Amino acid sequence: MSKPEYSIPPEFKIRDPEAFAANMTKVAQKSTELFSQLLQTQNQKSPDKLPGSELTSVAQTLFDVAQNYFNQPEKLVEAQTQLWKSHASLWQNTWQKMLGEPVEPVVSPERGDRRFRDESWENNQIFDFLKQSYLLTAKWARDTVEGADDVDEHTRHKADFYVEQIANALSPSNFVFTNPAVLRETMDSNGENLVRGLDHLIEDFERGDGQLSIRQTDLDAFEVGKNLATTPGKVVFQNDLIQLLQYTPTTESVYKRPLLIIPPWINKFYILDLNPEKSFIRWAVEQGITVFVISWANPDARLAQKTFEDYMTEGVLEAVGAVEQATGEKDVNAIGYCIGGTVLSATLAYAAAKGDKRIKSATFFTTQVDFTHAGDLMVFVDDEQIKGVEEKMAEAGYLEGRSMASAFNMLRSNDLIWSYVVNNYLLGKDPFPFDLLYWNSDSTRMPAATHSFYLRECYLENNLSQGKMSLGGVDLDLSKINIPVYNLAAREDHIAPLKSVFRIGEFLGGKTRLVVSGSGHIAGVVNAPQFNKYQYWTNDKGAATIEDWLDGSKEHAGSWWPDWKRWLAQRSGKLVPARVPGDGKLKVIEDAPGSYVRVRSENKKR
């Protein structure tokens, strides 16, 4: 057998050793400077707290899984043997490939995995080996967690999630000398990319006040009210918790019954008004609907004691009353998005008990009322972890916006974390301007009392769906909600999983129309008809399970928005002359999008 030969391709050789050495010196100096700054920041903020102490839960979870194998030595040997066999096959495959023999890969990336798109991951024998070795090991780690048979399901779920995060972090694509694209750029620029990347890293730590705040987009390319949230309208009502926006009509006549949109307070409302082409709000106005939107306050310590009940009374119910003052109409249709939908469902149950029938129909966007199948966010929810969050919130009176943003980013860490680590810090590039990612970075805080209630009552205890949640002295019974409901679920939703959102109809007392959109939590909702993207599914016969529902469903091309418009029009009354903000009993306070939405949680430094 001939001995295989391998030489370093020219593209991976240093171009100018002197310039390369000079840049590596800069990298070393900047790294030392950054490390010193981080230590100083850590000591100033919490000198008695050991760095990394928050990883205790991760370590304990993984230890519980490992203990299962230590208690069953035969399983441990079997798992180790499987790992050895898979790598032995890879070594044989690699040897044959180096000899020039045609071979099929032992393992390939999953469809949609963009980490290994560079052709060198396949054509270069070393990078191909690194890729396959990593994929085999990551799969083995996930299988090992799945095979731990004496572990409770919550621990297994956490372990699976943590192993996935560790595997994503350790991908060879995340390191300079094991990513061909990064190595090629490093050689081509003599290491200037790493110098620029460290500058970006230092800037991101400074903007995050000592915590890494990764830029996902060009933060200077967008401004709320200038090229985001530009649909014309006015603020016509406000209190400590909300501003209520009424949008300027673009049609001579409008439907008699106005629409109130209740967005999540975890994010800002302008996800529904990103730009004129993507704006659900602008589109709804163009359909002849009088649109009102709640813009939640970005709370600080002054609002620390605002409760979930306050979000119902000062938020939803006061907004409904304000819509009546602005239009003279006692009845409204309502939309609730995500947690905005959860508080809408609680409000509807409260209103049913009180005999309040002002909300005549409800549309839920990716909303959960039952949290049995709440997905990977359940990883962060057990009594110990919630107590940790409560202790953190007690210091300032609120949860920092970046905390929830980080949790959401971890649900898709390869796309929302590590791809930017590679682009910003290893390749030294600036992220592209992208309005959706600017919105994603414009996080909001949450009052301590509200967030604690939400985590415990919904995620931990699942009390809303069981009739055990009480607001304003009323035990909430979702079955008493007898209004028509349009329930929009997203097929690839990582935040409000399809299986969970599907269940709304099981708990409400009225007739529910379920529509499933393509894509995820955001793109599945913000999908304007003119782009003709994705698809949606309907099933007029219904089904007991989401699997049976999908099997019997009909697929439709494009956006679900027109389907919703047809549904809503039947529940919106006759056409009446268009209403101009300020013409009713409520006078104009300021132009949309208002001042509450402009309050940022992060350091304004870009």
Please tell me which residue in 135, 151, 297, 338 is annotated as part of the active site. Answer: 338
Report residue 111 as tokens.
Answer: 């469809």
CA–CA dist 479, 401 (Å, integer): 34
Q: Answer yes or no: are the C-beta atoms of 34 and 201 closer than 8 Å.
A: yes
According to DSSP, residue 238 is labeled E
Q: Answer yes or no: are the C-beta atoms of 444 and 363 closer than 8 Å.
A: no
Beta carbons within 8 Å of 245's beta carbon, 6+ residues apart = 233, 234, 235, 236, 292, 293, 294, 295, 592, 593, 594
**Angle, CA of 355, 319 and 503, to the nearest 5°:** 65
Q: Answer yes or no: are the C-beta atoms of 200 and 209 closer than 8 Å.
A: no
Residue 458 appears among annotated catalytic residues: no
What Å distances lie between residue 107 and 87, 122, 130, 134, 179, CA to CA? Answer: 11, 12, 12, 10, 18
Question: DSSP letters of 533-551?
Answer: -SEEEE-TT--SSHHHHHH
CA–CA dist 594, 269 (Å, integer): 11
Report residue 409 as tokens.
Answer: 């980013």
CA–CA dist 388, 395 (Å, integer): 12
Question: DSSP letters of 104-140?
Answer: --S--PPTT-GGG-STHHHHSHHHHHHHHHHHHHHHH
Instruction: Tell me which H or E stretch contains 590.
Output: strand 590-591
**Cα end-to-end span (Å), the chain:** 59
Report residue 319 as tokens.
Answer: 């907004």
Give me the phi and psi of 9, to 5 degrees please: -60, 145
Beta carbons within 8 Å of 185's beta carbon, 6+ residues apart = 193, 427, 428
Residues carrying an active site annotation: 338
